[in-house]
Amino acid sequence: MSDPNETYAAVDLGSNSFHMIVANVVDGRALIVDRIKEMVRLAGGLDENRQLTDDAMDIALQCLEKFGQRIKTIPASNIRAVGTNTLRQARNGVEFLSRANGALGHNIEIISGREEARLVYVGVANTIFNDDDKRLVVDIGGGSTELIIGKGFEANVTESLFMGCVNISQRFFKDGEITAKRMKKSCIAALQELENIQGFYRNYGWDTVVGTSGTIRAILDVVISQEWSESSITAESLTKLKKALISIGNVNKIEFAGLPSNRLPVFVGGVVVLAAVFEALKIESMQFSDGALREGLLYDQIGRQHSIDVRDKTVDRLMNRYSVDIDHAERVEKITKHIFKSVKSEWQLEKSEDLKMIRWAARIHEVGLAIAHSQYHKHGAYLLSNSDMPGFSRQEQILLSILVRLHRRKINLEIFEQVTDDAQNKLIKLVIILRLAIVLNRSRNAIKIPDVSVKINKKKIELTFHDGWLTEHPLTEADLETESGYLSVTDYKLAFN
């Protein structure tokens, strides 16, 4: 019987399809035990104002309720659910997410295009591992196309382009008619999306090309069934497929063996995107991998639970890039962990994610100094909000940027409005922990960190030092007095002796 604590689930809210996979980890290996896929076409539910329609949301929520029933017995820490391009665009995405979280029974994160690309590569690398070849991986979704070059398990170059099988189909073939003129016009539009990256990608180079996603799987099945290729997608087979589609003339008349009927409305758009990728990057042949975003999510989450978290590497790279004072950051981190341990039970904080978030903030709270000392907490928050941070979702980057923004000076409560009400209460507590750790390390020297006792009495924070310590450190005492004033805008009070 499998250990429920070693069962994992990954949910991918794509622009065309929603996917879920469930796996058991046995002897360090992930064994897939369940796969569920539903064609939701969320991208098709975006109106001209980039609002998700009520009908589109209802279909999506019904799917998520089914997924939620399957994962309700799996530990929450072993589940990860993410939204991609359509939810990145939707202006009412926050409204949808609040309902979607309830339907699924788990929080859904929005990830950036490049984070999506990285996770796609992780999925492919864990499916067809090859340590020697440099690979170009292509994933065509409903609203975006990801292109990644990597080697082994490491993605070196990532890009996400705003074109997919749904938006190209809607833009050029909405009424179902397929003509040579429309095919040419749509291909030019796709090539324009690729124009800015094609030179760099070709110069960077690769040994093999791997395609993933339902779109590329469908194209592969068609070219093989038509005997235009034996086992891969070739440039020649794509040319034949485009000509055949023009000859057929209408989406509703397409009848290729192996092509599901629910794929027909977006099939031509997918062919256009893939043909443009082949042309722009001068690809001759592409093999296929079943590994994709959901597999990448799964392996990434397993890694997090087994102390292999790519977010740790991201934070270390930021520290190196912006020349952070590592010794000082580690001292702040150390006392942050001490304070966290003292208050986590009373404040109902989670050791897994809350401690990680505040430790990362402690390590990179001074990244803004690379821009200027004046207002460096604001510069740091800007960098963290707008940088590509592998492993981090958009929500996590916002939380981290708020922690860094509020680690010093006045506490602007309006900043907390960027997160949900549930997250605000916890975030204020993490801000207080970080601020206190920084105050107690204000001297920036390597002397022993003060032995301080931290107690919580409702919303009163009590710091107790050894007899005479504050007398011997008058600047720290003055800093604590100032901090007490800053905290007065919250419901929390600071006392020390």
| 402-415 confidence digits (pLDDT tens) | 999 999 999 999 99
**Which three-class secondary structure state does DSSP give residue 327?**
helix
pLDDT over 80 at 3, yes or no: no
pLDDT over 90 at 28, yes or no: no
Among 427, 400, 398, which residue's Cα sits nearest to residue 411? 427
pLDDT over 90 at 473, yes or no: no
Q: Give the span between the Cα atoms of 432 and 436, in whole angstroms.
A: 6
Q: Is residue 360 within 8 Å of 400, Cβ to Cβ?
A: yes
What residue ranges define each of the domains in the chain, with the CATH number in brackets?
4-111+295-301 (3.30.420.40), 128-289 (3.30.420.150), 309-496 (1.10.3210.10)
Q: How far is CA 408 from CA 358, 431, 449, in A?
A: 15, 9, 19
Q: Is residue 106 within 8 Å of 79, Cβ to Cβ?
A: yes
**Which three-class secondary structure state does DSSP give residue 121?**
helix
Q: Give the span between the Cα atoms of 359 and 353, in whole angstroms.
A: 10
Q: Give the residue-averaged pLDDT of 42-62.
A: 95
C-alpha count within 13 angstroms, C-beta hemisphere, residue 497: 2
The sign of the CA dihedral 305, 310, 314, 320 is: positive
Q: Tokens for 237?
A: 């087979």
Q: Give the span between the Cα atoms of 236 and 254, in whole angstroms.
A: 20
Q: Tokens for 446?
A: 């390597």
Q: Give the span between the Cα atoms of 221 and 229, in whole angstroms.
A: 10
Q: Tokens for 294?
A: 């959901």
Q: Is residue 68 within 8 Å of 25, Cβ to Cβ?
A: no
Q: Give the residue-averaged pLDDT of 89-99.
A: 91
Q: Is residue 436 within 8 Å of 442, Cβ to Cβ?
A: no
**What is the pLDDT, as a whole number, of residue 146?**
98
Q: How far is CA 405 from CA 132, 321, 323, 434, in A?
A: 43, 19, 18, 11
Q: Tokens for 163?
A: 């074109």
**What is the pLDDT, as a whole number, of residue 1?**
45
Q: Tokens for 373?
A: 């000392």
pLDDT over 50 at 48, yes or no: yes
Helices (H), ranges, 282-375: 293-305, 310-321, 326-343, 353-364
**What is the pLDDT, as a whole number, of residue 2?**
54
pTM for the whole structure: 0.91
pLDDT in tens, 173-221: 999 999 999 999 999 999 999 999 999 999 999 999 999 999 999 999 9
Least confident stretch, 271-275, 305-309, 378-382, 407-411: 305-309
What angle, 0 to 180 degrees and rounded to 10, lies between the N-to-C axes of helices 214-225 and 235-248? 80
